[in-house]
Structures are given as structure tokens and as C-alpha cells.
Amino acid sequence: MTGSLERDGSRVRYWWSGPADGPVVVLTHGATMDHRMFDPQVPVLNDAGYRTLTWDLRGHGESKPLGRTPLTVGDLAADLLALLDEAGVGRPVCLVGQSLGGYVAQEVVLNHPGRVRALVVIGSTCTTMPVARWEAWALKSSPWWFAAWPYGDLRRRMAARTAATPQARAYAYEAAGRLSRREFLEVWRAVAAAVRPRPGYTIEHPLLLTHGEHDTTGNIARTAPAWAARDPNCRYEVIPRAGHNANQDNPGEFNPLLLEFLRSVSRT
């Protein structure tokens, strides 16, 4: 089922598929991507009995226009909950988030833990752990660097760093082209403001933390072990032969891992 929901001046597009009575898995894409990045996962999840929700974040893909600005990760988390409410989903769901989608998922877990059964993070950093002062400065200043960068060249470089396979790189370049320069900068400002350390906080939900073997984006690979050690119910796995979009680069490794995790959650 395809639909749209009006949210702060944006028409947010979404896609439901799979058995109506199946456990719900929500898949949220990264910055400059769209719902298609989960095409390798949706049929597999549906065949296994899961009901899936994919959607385009504001300004991405078919969710146009961007709507009210400034945009925050909290706005995107509220959009996700509104989509679930519109569909009448009251029971806790599994959230799968890649990169920015991982930020959105963490925001929901932080502020609405009762809505979440389990969490899967692909290529994302922890938004609640302390970061080095220089890393915090680099993240907060990054929108100004990108504002001065020719957008065509930035798209090419981002696509090359995002994925390891030619097919996933071509998709990343095309998907980024669906955002205007202004939309990209607004989205990136939301990314840059998302990290807000909370000493003493831990995610108590079952958590599958993953990134690609060749993910060189930011400090994802370097900080993932510390994140995994912080949260008591975290399983940490590195996806071989994969970059930042690990679920696209190597679905043959990622999909069985995802299904096994979801099945383990259902047994607890």
C-alpha cells in the first residue's frame, strides 16, 4: 500500500507491504538516499512474515517539498510516529535505520521507548555518547563547508564514499540528485545538530549494531565498539565487503543477520 501524509508543509510518502498481521519492521534511509535503498531487504522480510514500512524522509525521494525549516531529527522522528499512528500500529515495532535513519531511530527510542521492540542500526554513530571536542566542532561546522562546495562534485564524492559496489554507488548518486542544494543543506544541518551526549544513558532494547567493513564515513567504525560495550543488549557485527550502505553492498551477508536478529527478538 502506498500513501502520503501531510507534515509541516511536506507530503511524506510511504509504502506498506507484507502480511497485515505480521510484526512491523520500519526501515528508515540515510541522508540523500530514499526508500529504495531497502529494496534488497523488503521482499525477504515480507516472505519471512514481517510487515514492512518504508518511507522517504522530508525533502528526499518523493516526499516533497521539504516543508518547514529549520528541520530537526526530532521532526523526522515525529513523522515516523505519525505514520505508525495513521496505520493504527499500537504495538512496539522494530526500527531499522541507516546513517541518518539510525539517528531517527535513536530519537524514537530515547523519547518513546515504549513504541520500540528492537533496534537495528546500519552505519550510524551513537547520538547520546560523548564525542571528542574536535569531532563535535567538525560535525557542527560541516554545513558551512558543504555550503561552499559545488554540489555536483559533492554528489560524486559522496556516492563514491557511500558504497563499495558500482550498483549502490550509481543509486546513491542518482538519489542525491533528487534533493536540491538547499534541501541537502537543510538536511545536513539536522544531521550536524543531532549528537547530544547524555551521560549515564543506555539503550536497554535489543540492538543490532552494524557497519560495513569498508565504511570510512566519519568516526562510525572507530566508535562502534565503545557503543556496543555501553549498551547491555547490543550485538555488534561488521558486514564484510561493504561500505556505508552495507545493506545494499552486501545483502547476502546482511539479510540473514537481520532475520536471525529479528527471530531472536521474537523469542524473548
CATH number (domain holding residue 234) = 3.40.50.1820
- If pLDDT is split at 50, 70 and 90, which confidence band does 268 have? low
pLDDT of 137 reads 67
pLDDT in tens, 197-231: 999 999 999 999 999 999 999 899 999 999 999 99
Q: DSSP letters of 186-245?
A: HHHHHHHT-----TT----S-EEEEEETT--STTHHHHHHHHHHHSTTEEEEEETT--SS
Considering the chain, what percentage of its residues have pLDDT values greater than 90?
86
What are all long-range contacts of 109-116, with beta carbons under 8 Å and residues at least 24 apart?
109/203, 109/205, 110/198, 110/201, 111/74, 111/77, 112/77, 112/81, 113/204, 113/205, 115/81, 115/84, 116/92, 116/205
Q: Is the pLDDT of residue 174 over 90?
A: yes
What rounded mean pLDDT belongs to the chain?
A: 94
N- to C-terminal Cα separation, the chain: 30
β-sheet bridge partners, residue 14: 3, 55
CA distance 215 to 154: 18
pLDDT of 133 reads 76
Q: Which domain holds residue 161?
A: 2-267
Contact 11, 171 (CB under 8 A): no
Span 241-261, average pLDDT: 98
What phi and psi values does residue 37 have, to the nearest 5 degrees?
A: -65, -15
Span 86-92, average pLDDT: 96
C-alpha 253, offset from chain centre: 19
Identify which has the larger pLDDT, 17 or 154.
Answer: 17
Contact 101, 30 (CB under 8 A): yes
Which ranges in the chain belong to alpha helices (H)? Answer: 42-47, 73-86, 100-111, 133-147, 151-162, 166-176, 181-192, 220-230, 246-249, 251-267
Longest dimension (CA), the chain: 51
Handedness of CA 26, 27, 31, 34 (dihedral sign): negative
CA distance 63 to 76: 12
CA distance 91 to 85: 10
Span 73-87, average pLDDT: 98
pTM: 0.96
pLDDT of 146 reads 80
pLDDT of 131 reads 80
Handedness of CA 194, 31, 54, 62 (dihedral sign): positive
Count of structural domains, the chain: 1
pLDDT in tens, 123-171: 999 999 998 777 776 677 777 778 778 888 988 998 988 999 999 999 9
